Structure formats: C-alpha cells, structure tokens
Amino acid sequence: MTSELPEMRASDAERERVAERLRNAYAEGRLDMGEFEERLDLAYKARTQAELVPLVRDLPEAVTPAAGAVEGDWHGRVGRPATSKGAFAFWSGFGRRGKWSVARNFTAAVLQGGGDIDLRDADFEDREVVIRCFAVMGGIQVVVPPDLHVEVTGQGFMGGFDDRGAGAGTPGSPRVRITGFALMGGVDVRRKERKSSRKQLRK
C-alpha cells in the first residue's frame, strides 16, 4: 500500500545548508559554474526535503566548522536596515564605502561620471541582494571581499562588464547578483582583501 503521508516541507535553514554545501563544492572544483548555478537555483526553490536530497547526493558531507570559523564573519551582518538604496552621478562621482548597509535591491547609474561600490565592510539588508549597475560613457567599480558569493550577469555594448570578481562565497555568505548594462563605459567587479585582513597579514 502506497503511503499517503505528505512529504516533509523544507525549512529555510535546510535550504541554506544545501546552498552552503554547493558553494563549497564549487569552490573546490567539484562543480562547474553551470552545474553550481542550476543546483543553487533549485535549492532555493525547493519546497520539500526530498527535492533537496538529489542536489547534494554526489557531494561530500559538510564539515562542521570550528568555533570562530568563517561563518562567524557574517554573523550579524545580514538583516540590517538598508542605509542606501541607490546612487547616481552625472559629470561627477559617487562612493559607497566603509560601514554601510546594502538594500536588497540597489541601483547605481553614472552618465559621463564614475562610481565606487565597496562591499568589503558592508552589511546587507537581506541574504539575497541584487545590485543593478548602469554606466553610460562612464565607469562603476564594485569591490567585493574574497569570501562573498557573487554572480555577475551584466552586459556591455561598446563597453565592458567585467565578471572577474564572480565566484562562490564561504558558508553563511550573502548571495549578491550584479547585473546591468554598460554603454561606451564599463563596470568592473573585482575581489580585494579587507583592509583589516591586509593589516593582519603584514603583522
């Protein structure tokens, strides 16, 4: 007799644990970008635990991090009220640096100007953040830390939308998608160590 009991619903915490295993697998080279993005999308859309299991069936079990491991670096930095939802520059420039909180939907635009968006010390309104960058005859530079999950899907026409900063983050990292359009201009996404990390390395 076939069981008529409903499948167990997946929780947000279970979806996030699967997402972290996928990020680790991508960082270790077990998944290519296409496989990683497909599985990650399915993980966040999963409604039941049964839908999550096949996504990590062929991947090693997650190792529980020691106290003070990387997850702690994101503790308290997600869920902060946004301090900025956008920026615009015309024949001038703008900057978002240091300690600030990124809105879940942030839009930046420059027209014959320039902009700097630095996420290394930023907080995040949500675990899923979309940054839209539009550069017309100007440039926007987005600086991200090495441990942040970043996806770049923007396009350039007679300009460039550089995705060198794209890549998987560490467990607990927010998911930041950078998209938009560059016309006779450029959007540059690059990874840099935090200033505090560089000081520690020097010491």
49-103 residue pLDDT tens: 889 999 999 988 765 444 444 444 677 888 889 999 999 999 999 999 999 999 9
DSSP 57-100: TTSPPPPPPPTT-THHHHTTSBSPPPSEEEEEEESSEEEE-SS-
Where in the chain are the domains? 12-63, 80-195
Q: How far apart are CA 147 and CA 145, in angstroms?
A: 6
Copy the structure tokens of residue 177: 């998608």
| Cβ atoms within 10 Å of 31's Cβ, excluding its own | 21
| Amino acid identity at 141 | Q
161-184 residue pLDDT tens: 988 888 888 888 899 999 999 999
Give the angle subtended at the CA of 158 by the CAs of 153 and 161, to the nearest 5°. Answer: 25
Higher-pLDDT residue of 62, 121: 121
Task: Please report the pLDDT score of residue 23 as a whole number.
Answer: 78
| Cβ atoms within 10 Å of 72's Cβ, excluding its own | 11
Copy the structure tokens of residue 195: 């200033």
Task: Please report the pLDDT score of residue 73 as a whole number.
Answer: 66
